[in-house]
Amino acid sequence: MGCTPEAVANALRDAAAVIAEHRVELINLDRAIGDGDHGENMHRGFQAIVAALDTAVPETPGAVLKVAATSLISKVGGAAGPLYGTAFLRAATAVSNQPELGAAEVVAALRAGLEGVQARGKAVEGDKTMVDALLPAVAAAEKAGGGDVAAVLTAAAEGAAAGAESTVDLVARKGRASYLGRRSAGHLDPGARSTALLLGALAKAAR
């Protein structure tokens, strides 16, 4: 069985709960190398997604993802809103009007999300951004593509977690953290961490 619109909506509710739980952690990570607003912004954005879905769950998974995109773009400040919004919007477009999502559609959505983030933020691997979590997540998902949705998302979550950890040693080349130069090394990138948290929540929901 694939992911129904209700299942996607519930996974996003779970993701919102995880972001709420880690809000202070994300604030502190961003305070170290950014302007300290990532946790609050992400929390506000995901609460907006939940509020929108509580009003009505759209009829297709793609439409649910589009609700997430518009909520994030309208409610989240800083770089995170446009980047995450674009990721969800590209994911929504990739799955089109499919009534349910199988493993192949989830892989396509993840790939489209990554491409959207890279097109919007112009970041590449090693820049110490969310891309460092997304790239290994998508690679792992594509490798697990023959399995079910839970297997794909679990692989993606594991890839993202490892990718996020890899940002600790990197020197930032993008965003506000890049102003610190070498002093940005030794810190986990908040965007990579929030990406890993989100994919972890989605994987858990799928399982």
CB 33 within 8 A of CB 176: yes
CB 192 within 8 A of CB 171: no
Instruction: For the chain, give the longest Cα–Cα distance.
Output: 48
This prediction's pTM: 0.96
Q: How many residues does the chain have?
A: 207
Summarised one tens digit per residue, pLDDT across range 74-105 is: 998 788 999 999 999 999 999 999 999 999 99
Summarised one tens digit per residue, pLDDT across range 130-175 is: 999 999 999 999 999 888 999 999 999 999 999 999 999 999 999 8
pLDDT over 90 percentage in the chain: 93
DSSP 185: T
CATH number, domain containing residue 49: 1.25.40.340
Count of domains observed in the chain: 1
How does the average pLDDT of the chain come out, rounded? 96
Gap between the Cα atoms of 72 and 16, Å rounded: 12
Output the pLDDT for position 91: 98
Single out the residue of 134, 123, 129, 127 nearest to residue 161, CA to CA.
Answer: 134
Gap between the Cα atoms of 58 and 63, Å rounded: 6
Residues near 55 by beta carbon (within 8 Å), at least 6 away in sequence: none
Provide the domain limits for residue 85. Answer: 5-206
Q: Check whether 7 has a pLDDT greater than 80.
A: yes
Gap between the Cα atoms of 43 and 206, Å rounded: 22
